[in-house]
Amino acid sequence: MLAQLMEAVLPSIIGVMVHRKEKLTLKELAAQKSFLAKLGVIQKRRTDEPIIVAMIGLTGSGKSSVSQELSKLIGATVIEGDDIRIELRKQGEAYERARALAENISIKVVEQGGNVILDSDFIDPKKRASIREKARKAHIRLVFICTYADLDVMIGRALTADYKNSMDDFFGGASSQWKGSEQSKGAVVKLREMWRRIPHHYRWENKVGGRWVIKNPPCKVLADIDTTDEKKWKEEVRNCADELL
């Protein structure tokens, strides 16, 4: 009950305490402009009403795969949090307002006739509240989709996926931040992020040697998608699209 109350009340609080006082720096504005320019022509939405889909899921849980698949079905632009941080990095700016940039860009995409899928982890209640308030004011429907998978599968994805190019962009010239081999950089960064955020998505069950058990979604979601089996999750994505169209 308390969690539901917070989901309802927190957006208004964020709107007053954060949004009214929030002002982007010149470098943040430059990063936002650069990101928008790279999006190019906006894919027109296929839904009757404008929609923002915000993803919830751990690194390796399949957020990006689900986002890309759903975007083709409903006519949406996928906005990745990492790509926004890369643009901020290029401007020599910190990441504190990456959230604000993602929200602003989402509104601009919708204004151009598109839908948006935010490929970032919205497990944080303040982050959910912020996008809720922005979407409400812009009269945009907001839905959340939660992705998860077997932990061994997620670790395997992080170890085998090719993150080299994106990680090179992400670190930029700050090579001093990385002490390991270039070949393992991307995988290790992703594994570190997964490890850090596991307690947000899983709870530890101290039985039979112990294991991590997935928590229920922190808010109402359109779908809770297990991406372990590709055939099954693609079918679930199609069901999501049917609900949104």
State how far the alpha carbon of 173 is from the alpha carbons of 35, 186, 203, in Å: 20, 15, 37
pLDDT (0 to 100) of residue 244:
97
Residue 178 within a domain: no
What is the predicted pLDDT for the residue at 135? 97
In a domain, 173, yes or no: no
Residue range 13-66, pLDDT digits in tens: 999 889 998 999 999 999 999 999 999 889 999 999 999 999 999 989 999 999
Q: Which domain holds residue 88?
A: 2-146+220-244
Residue 167 placed within a domain: no
pTM of the entire predicted model = 0.89
User: What span, in angstroms and rounded, lies between the C-alpha atoms of 16 and 13?
Assistant: 5
Rounded Cα distance between 211 and 205, Å, is 5
Q: 172 in a domain, yes or no?
A: no
Domain at 117, CATH number: 3.40.50.300
Please tell me the predicted confidence (pLDDT) of residue 184. 60
CA 53, 54, 56, 59 torsion-angle sign: positive
What residue ranges of the chain have pLDDT lower than 50? 163-168, 170-176
Domain count, the chain: 1
Q: What is the pLDDT of residue 169?
A: 52
